[in-house]
């Protein structure tokens, strides 16, 4: 058990880095989008969702509470 804890601690310690690279898989794309509920009927009910163009490959908008 003690060897396992030492292994987990060492693995965690060596997997950390000081680089500020951030996420290299997704580009940093600024998004300023206005969504009007009248044009998307799916968003007028709770649990409805739709996609709008923007961002990298579109934006998914979800109506959580209604």
pLDDT one-digit tens code per residue, 1-11: 888 999 888 88
- Which token pair is 52? 């709008």
**Global pTM?**
0.55
| Cβ burial, residue 43 (10 Å; 0-12/13-18/19+) | buried
pLDDT one-digit tens code per residue, 15-47: 776 666 667 777 888 889 898 888 888 988 899
């Amino acid at each position: 058990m003690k060897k396992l804890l030492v292994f987990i601690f060492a693995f965690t310690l060596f997997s950390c880095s000081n680089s500020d690279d951030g996420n290299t898989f997704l580009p940093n794309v600024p998004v300023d989008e206005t969504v009007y509920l009248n044009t998307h009927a799916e968003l007028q009910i709770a649990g409805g969702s739709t996609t709008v163009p923007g961002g990298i490959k579109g934006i998914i908008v979800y109506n959580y509470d209604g």
